[in-house]
Amino acid sequence: MVPHFPKLNTTAETRCHVGFLTLKDFTMIAFSSAVEVLRMANYLIGQPCYSWSVLTIDGQPVPSSNGFAPLQTTTYAESPRFDMVFVCGGTDVIKFVDDKVIALLRRMARDGVTLGGLCTGTYALVKSGLLDGYRCTIHWENMASLREMHQRVEFLDELFVIDRDRITCTGGIAPIDMMLALVRKRFGRALVAEISDQFILDRVRDSSDRQHIPLAARLGHNHRALVEIAALMEANFEEPLSAVELAKLAGLSLRQVQRMFQESLDTTPSKYYLGLRLRRARELLLQSQMSITQIAVSCGFQSTCHFSKSYRALYGRTPRSERQRGAFVAEPVG
C-alpha cells in the first residue's frame, strides 16, 4: 500500500530538475542508485516532484561500465533549466574529462546550477577548478593522488559531502544515501523512511559516515609491516593487544612501530586502534540489536562509562543518542 502524503501543488516551475552528465564508462551502479531515489520519491508522493535528464556532450549515448548505454540522452543546451547536475564518472575518468567537459561545467556554474559528482565524477569538477575552496569526497582509489595534486580542495573521507552548491559522493550505493539526504531536506524524514522501507534498507547512512579506505590503498605497497599490524588490530577487538604485543608479533621493536604510525598516519598505535574499535562499535549500534553493554565488551572496553566517554570524544554524541538517531539521515551541512 502506497502511503498518502499531503497533496502538493507541483508545477514545472517548482519541480526539481536534475541532470546526469554521463562520461564514457561511467559507473552504472552509482548512476542508477541516484536516479532510483528520485523515482521512488515521485512514486510515493504521487506527483512528479523530481524530473531528470541524461546528458552527454553531444547528445549521443555513451556506454556505461557494464556496456549498457541510456536510451534517451540530450545536451545541456537542449534541456530545460537544471537545478542540479551530477557528473557520472568511471574507472578511467581522467581520459574523458577534456576541454569540452570543462567548458560545459564552467558554463553550468556561471548559470547558477548546483553541481555534483558521483563516484569519480568529482574529478571533473576538481579539474575544472569548480571545487577550489570547497569540501568534497571521491572514491577512495582516487583520493590520495588528488589530495596531493589539488591542495585548494579539501578532500574528506565521508560517503558524501554537501557543501553549499557542490554535492559529491563516493561510488557504489553511496548515491542512495546522498539523494535521501537531499530528499529529506525538501520533504522531511517521513518520506525518507518510506523510501528506505521500499528499498529494504536497514539503515540510511548520513554525511558523518566515512567510506572504508583499505590501509594498503592509503599507504601504498611500501608499508607492508604497518598494514599487517593494522590487520592484527582488526582481528583483536574484544581483547585488544598492547603495542608491545603488536610489535612482537610483527617482529619489530616498539620504537619502530611507534615511529611507523607517527610518520605514516600522524598518530600513535593506541589512538589508531581505538579509532578502529569505535568504528566497529558504531556499526554495531546502528546495525545490530546488541545492547550497549554487549557492544562495549565486544569492542574491548572495560566499562560502558569508558566506552561512552571515548565514543563521545570521537563522534560528538553518546552511544545511546547515536542509536536513538536510528535510520534517520542527518541534516545536510551547507
Q: Which of 188-192, 196-200, 219-223 has the lowest mean pLDDT?
A: 219-223
Alpha-carbon distance of 116 to 169, in angstroms, equals 8
The domain segmentation of the chain, as residue ranges, is 16-198, 215-322
The CATH superfamily of 16-198 is: Class I glutamine amidotransferase (GATase) domain (3.40.50.880)
pTM (2 decimals)?
Answer: 0.69
Q: How many CB atoms lie within 10 A of CB 228?
A: 17
Task: Please state the three-class secondary structure of 98-167 as a single string.
Answer: CHHHHHHHHHHHHCCCEEEEEHHHHHHHHHCCCCCCCEECCCHHHHHHHHHHCCCCEECCECEEEECCEE
Per-residue pLDDT tens digits for 221-277: 567 888 888 888 988 999 999 999 999 998 999 999 999 899 888 899 999 999 989
Q: What is the mean pLDDT of residues 314-318?
A: 90
Percent of the chain exceeding pLDDT 70 equals 88
Look at domain 215-322 and name its CATH class. Answer: mainly alpha
| Per-residue model confidence (pLDDT) at position 72 | 86
Cα separation, 152 vs 130, in Å, equals 10
